[in-house]
Structure 1
Amino acid sequence: MAEAPKQQMPARRKARRRALEVLFEADLRDQPPVEVLAGYLERIEKPHPEHLGYAVRLVEGVAAHLDRIDELIGSYAEGWTLDRMPVVDRNLARIAVYELLYVDEVDDPVAITEAVELAKQLSTDESPRFLNGILDRIAEYTTR
């Protein structure tokens, strides 16, 4: 395997984690993600890390398609409403669904795996399995 994909994955994971931080803050404060993003970008030391561009793309993309993304998550989260989900899980799902629907260069299994891996680090013990199930069902639906 070529070296480039190995180098991209950590950068993309860092970008997803940064996007999660912004979406998490926006969710908790009940503020528009793009407004929180602007403040976040002002606080980051310059020069900005290379992966920041992808983080911005994720936040802006989730914000632009939030209604559709939340509709899908709500439909496929069997027995759960968005409001009942842990904030981390809800926003990891939003990032992954955005990637599933709108980011062609990220394969569906990669988007799902990345959400699950971040859930292992940042959320509850049940979260990885929970997210994997929802995201698998959404990926199956979106590829029909």
Structure 2
Amino acid sequence: MAKPKRSNVAQIRIPFRDVDMNGQMFLASYISHAEAVLAGFWSMRPELDDEPLYVAAKVSCTLHRPLAYDEEAIFTATVDKIGLRSVGFIISVDAKADRAAEVELTWQARGRESGEPVALPEETRDWLYSFLD
């Protein structure tokens, strides 16, 4: 991945390993790159001593047009929904002037010891709200 412009944006050139025999990017690769961008964004959150674990509860990808080998794409992570125990993200994938895809990820907060759903920490919730329009 290329150096991001901001913590929630990454520009990549589609590598050969991510395309099928027709030269189109595998659906799983959209999700993989989206998760990498989201990890960079998430690393900017406030550090907490008693932070819960965050577990993927939902992952989906809407493909508008397939990306091709060596094509440049910009992946942008945004906060979509903030719930009591979960947070939803949309990672948009743009190439040239087109929206190529959108990856939706929902993470659920879980207790480190119990593994049961827990409320999002207030500090994390406040940080997330700063990204909503």
Computing the radius of gyration from Cα coordinates, the structure with the larger value is 2
More strand by share: 2
TM-score norm. by structure 1 comes to 0.31
TM-score norm. by structure 2 comes to 0.33
